[in-house]
């Protein structure tokens, strides 16, 4: 009977270690997901700023009398 108790305790310890490892892995994956979402949010903010500058460039070039196509070409780096 005493032998059965020790084997049960060993099984329980092994399950406890497995659950602890699972918890650590789950926590790590949540952290990675949060960092990835933050990176996406920051890239969207910079994209919004870039589009605002581009639109201002197109409007400014159009005021000089150029067509929309020529203004977009100029703002994209064309001559």
Q: For the whole model, what pTM was predicted?
A: 0.52
Angstrom distance (rounded) from CA 40 to CA 19? 32
The pLDDT score that the predictor gives to residue 58 is 94
Alpha helices, H only, the chain: 2-62, 68-75
Burial of 75 (0-12, 13-18, 19+ CB in 10 A): middle
With cut-offs at 50, 70 and 90, classify the pLDDT of residue 4: low
The model's pLDDT over 11-56, given as tens digits with 9 standing for 90+, comes to 777 788 889 999 999 999 999 999 999 999 888 888 888 999 999 9
The pLDDT score that the predictor gives to residue 5 is 62
With cut-offs at 50, 70 and 90, classify the pLDDT of residue 1: very low
Angstrom distance (rounded) from CA 61 to CA 67? 9
Residue 43, Ramachandran bin (φ over 0: left; ψ between -120 and 50: alpha; else beta): alpha
Q: How many domains, in total, are found in the chain?
A: 1
Task: Look up the domain containing 18 and give its range.
Answer: 2-75
């Amino acid at each position: 009977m005493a032998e059965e108790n020790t084997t049960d305790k060993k099984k329980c310890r092994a399950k406890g270690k497995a659950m602890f490892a699972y918890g650590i892995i789950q926590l790590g994956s949540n952290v990675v997901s949060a960092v990835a979402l933050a990176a996406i949010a920051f890239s969207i903010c910079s994209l919004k700023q870039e589009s605002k500058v581009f639109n201002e460039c197109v409007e400014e070039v159009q005021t000089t009398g150029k067509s929309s196509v020529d203004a977009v070409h100029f703002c994209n780096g064309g001559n």
